[in-house]
Amino acid sequence: MSYFRIRSLLLALVFIPASIINASDISSLSEEMDSRAKEVITKPTISRVSELRRLPVSLRQFEFLIDHPRLSMVLSHIYDPSLDLYKMEVRADGLIHVDDLEGLVGDMELIDSIPGRRVYFILGHSDILKIRFNGRMVLMIAYSKHPSEEGASVDSTTTGYIKVENAFVGFFYKVNGFSFSQSSGREDRPPCECC
């Protein structure tokens, strides 16, 4: 349950962005990253990929939405009013503090920003049945202009690598992810071919 709340929150922050990250992109990224993000990418408890094709905005508008999460949240609320439950604060040090008011709290830090890619490191916790579960996440958003005669649009891929700091919960997510992929015919992608 917490995984889906984390994923929904993070996807909503960037207006559900989603272009495919090649293994070489991840390889060069893992060389540049600090050890806390590198561990999450190379040994995630769970990873997920979400793709969004032909979002009807220009590349410049898409980058603006990613770089302005509060505005993205307001626009997301217009699209889906249930997203109003999240509180977000952009702090002076650049961290984005997020609280869903139901026990999921975390801080997002932008650790890589180049044209066509944003990478965030998230540190947070979730309180479930009065038990606190801590976790870390690396969220990579790769995007590109979609060639079209119909007007501007953007293709994007969001990849989330989550490391849960509890062995039981980690095992539960892996079993749940396995049964989900078996029942839906979907397979989890490995973190990357370079690791």
Structural domain contains residue 193: no
Residue 166's domain spans which residues?
2-184
Structural domain contains residue 192: no
Structural domain contains residue 194: no
Structural domain contains residue 90: yes
Per-residue pLDDT, 192:
41
Beta carbons of 141 and 66 less than 8 angstroms apart:
yes
- State how far the Cα of 191 lies from the Cα of 139, in Å rounded to an integer: 12
Structural domain contains residue 189: no
CATH of the domain at 176: 3.30.530
Per-residue pLDDT, 168:
67
Report the predicted TM-score, pTM, of the whole model to 2 decimal places.
Answer: 0.70
User: Each residue's pLDDT tens digit in the chain (195 positions)?
Assistant: 444 444 444 443 433 333 333 344 455 555 556 788 998 999 888 889 999 999 888 999 999 999 888 888 888 888 788 766 678 888 988 899 988 888 889 999 999 999 999 999 999 998 878 888 899 999 999 999 988 777 889 999 999 998 988 766 666 666 665 444 443 333 444 444 333
Structural domain contains residue 31: yes
Structural domain contains residue 195: no
Q: How many domains does the chain have?
A: 1
Per-residue pLDDT, 31:
57
User: Strand, helix or coil at 48?
Assistant: strand
Query: Residue 53: enclosing H or E segment and its boundaries?
Result: strand 46-55
Structural domain contains residue 53: yes
